[in-house]
């Protein structure tokens, strides 16, 4: 329902500022300051967004009271480490949502020390097994499991996750590889046996926020491994290991998924999980937007305010912010961000409000990002009033 003519509706739909503010935290700052400085009849529709990475579970919990949270004890990103991974279940929708970073996310690395070669996705497979086992033991009916990928510490092609699900791996001497598969152990694999000891009659939907393939200059090792601490030499080793793994899996399954857009997500976890029966890729930002009824809420708004940590070309290719900008369809949009790519070309209806301008030192803003965001929003109030014709 549209607001009365004397009211204006603002949709507040930010993603997280990675490493500084959660999507909910950004939304709260925007809501509180706007409520204090705009006419009381202004409608503030608060809708934090995510794309399968940080804040996904919290965004879904806030948007739909039908979601219930549960936890499982699984292997962390480093073998021998144990972590408590959260996941969601929606009984009415017969749906479970797993955030893979809850098991192998870089934020879980002990002491924050990156482990580009030793990190594993084994815990993601354990989490999936736990969800299936619990549903079966309780007689619950699940029709779909959504596995969101992003924020991973590992580059193991998802073979660690498959190993936890029962897939067997052997080295050249015929010895079973029993320790969790990691990026550094991909080259050791000589034979793979597909023997998962579980079944799931529903769909496994792999929600990605990137379109990178598994291999090559745009692949998991070349693009994402450096972000996980890999040196150029280690990136080359990981690329060779993923190529070797792809050759073995293609021979075993008779099909190659390496070139699929999104296969390189989460260090190739998306590629590995794609080999599971009744699995497929979906856009994480699109799926979450559907759960939030975001397109309708954008259509109802007179002004949209969104944001993320860094606005650049990748924001427009599968990220939550990109969906907001596309669906705005000419409506005025303010995008708050930590920094913005200088050469990013955007339509005239989109106003970019970076916390750190080109040439400025980011240290002050990052030291207290909440205060920096409040300051920038206050400076943007004249633009907001003009957009709302106040």
The two three-digit tokens of residue 328, written as one number: 């705005």
pLDDT value, residue 365: 66
Q: Which residues lie across from 74 on neighbouring strands?
A: 83
CA atoms of 64 and 76, how far apart (whole Å): 28
CA atoms of 113 and 136, how far apart (whole Å): 37
Query: pLDDT tens digits, residue range 263-280?
Result: 999 999 999 999 999 999
Answer for the pair 116, 163: CB distance below 8 angstroms, yes or no. Answer: no
The two three-digit tokens of residue 373, written as one number: 């965001």
CA atoms of 159 and 156, how far apart (whole Å): 6
CA atoms of 204 and 216, how far apart (whole Å): 26
**SS3 assignment for the chain:** CCCCCCCCEEEEEECCECCCECHHHHHHHHHHHHHHHCCCCCEEEECCCCCCCCCHHHHHHHHCCCEEEEEEEEECCCCCCEEEEEEEEECCCCEEEEECHHHHEHHHCHHHCCCCCCCCCHHHHHHHHHHHHHHHHCCCCCCEEEEECCCECCCCCCHHHHHHCCCEEECCCCCECCCCCCHHHHHHCCEEECCCCCCCCCEEEEEECCCCCCCCCCCHHHHHHHHHCCCHHHHHHHHHHHHHHHHHHHHHHCCCCCCCCCCCHHHHHHHHHCCCCCEEEEEHHHHHHHHHCHHHHHHHCCEEEEEEEEECHHHHCCCHHHHHHHHHCCCCEEEEEEEECCCCCCCCCEEEEECCCCCCCCHHHHHCHHHHHHHHHHHHHHHHHHHHCC
Query: pLDDT tens digits, residue range 125-160?
Result: 999 999 999 988 876 789 999 999 988 999 999 999
Reference 334, options 285, 292, 288, 376; nearest CA is 376
Please give the span between the terminal C-alpha atoms of the chain, in angstroms, as a whole number. 21
CA atoms of 157 and 171, how far apart (whole Å): 17
Q: Which residues lie across from 311 on neighbouring strands?
A: 340
CA atoms of 383 and 361, how far apart (whole Å): 25
pLDDT value, residue 6: 59
pLDDT value, residue 340: 85
pLDDT value, residue 386: 93
Answer for the pair 243, 215: CB distance below 8 angstroms, yes or no. Answer: yes
Positions in the chain whose pLDDT score sits under 50: 1-4
The two three-digit tokens of residue 135, written as one number: 């549903």
Answer for the pair 103, 83: CB distance below 8 angstroms, yes or no. Answer: yes
pLDDT value, residue 2: 46
Whole-structure pTM value:
0.89
């Amino acid at each position: 329902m549209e607001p009365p003519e004397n009211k204006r509706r603002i949709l507040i739909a930010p993603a997280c500022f990675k490493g500084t503010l959660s999507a909910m935290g950004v939304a709260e700052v925007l809501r509180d300051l706007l409520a204090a400085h705009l006419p009381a009849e202004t409608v503030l529709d608060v809708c934090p967004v995510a794309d399968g990475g940080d804040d996904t579970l919290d965004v879904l919990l806030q948007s739909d009271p039908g979601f219930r949270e549960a936890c499982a004890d699984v292997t962390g990103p480093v073998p021998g480490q144990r972590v408590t991974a959260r996941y969601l279940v929606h009984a009415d929708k017969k749906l479970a949502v797993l955030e893979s970073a809850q098991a192998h996310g870089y934020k879980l690395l002990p002491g924050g020390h990156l482990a580009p070669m030793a990190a594993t996705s084994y815990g993601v497979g354990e989490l999936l097994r736990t969800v299936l086992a619990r549903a079966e033991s309780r007689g619950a009916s699940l029709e779909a499991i959504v596995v969101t990928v992003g924020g991973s510490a590992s580059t193991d092609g998802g073979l660690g996750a498959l190993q936890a699900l029962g897939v067997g791996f052997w080295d050249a001497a015929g010895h079973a590889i029993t320790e969790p598969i990691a990026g550094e152990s991909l080259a050791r694999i000589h034979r793979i046996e597909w023997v998962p000891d579980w079944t799931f009659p529903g769909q496994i939907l792999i929600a990605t926020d990137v379109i990178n393939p598994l291999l090559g200059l745009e692949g998991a090792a070349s693009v994402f491994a450096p972000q996980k601490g890999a040196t150029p030499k280690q990136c080359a080793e990981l690329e060779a290991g993923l190529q070797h793994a792809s050759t073995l899996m293609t021979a075993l399954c008779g099909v190659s998924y390496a070139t699929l857009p999104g296969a390189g997500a989460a260090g190739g976890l998306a590629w590995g999980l794609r080999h599971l029966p009744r699995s497929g890729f979906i856009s994480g930002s699109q799926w979450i937007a559907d759960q939030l009824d975001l397109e309708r809420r954008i259509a109802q708004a007179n002004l949209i305010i969104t944001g993320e940590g860094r606005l650049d070309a990748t924001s427009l290719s599968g990220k939550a912010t990109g969906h907001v900008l596309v669906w705005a369809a000419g409506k005025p949009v303010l995008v708050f961000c930590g920094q913005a790519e200088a050469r990013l070309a955007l339509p005239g209806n989109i106003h970019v409000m970076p916390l750190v301008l080109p040439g400025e030192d980011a240290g002050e803003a990052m030291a207290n990002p909440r205060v920096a965001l409040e300051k920038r929003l206050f400076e943007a109030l004249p633009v907001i009033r003009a957009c709302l014709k106040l």
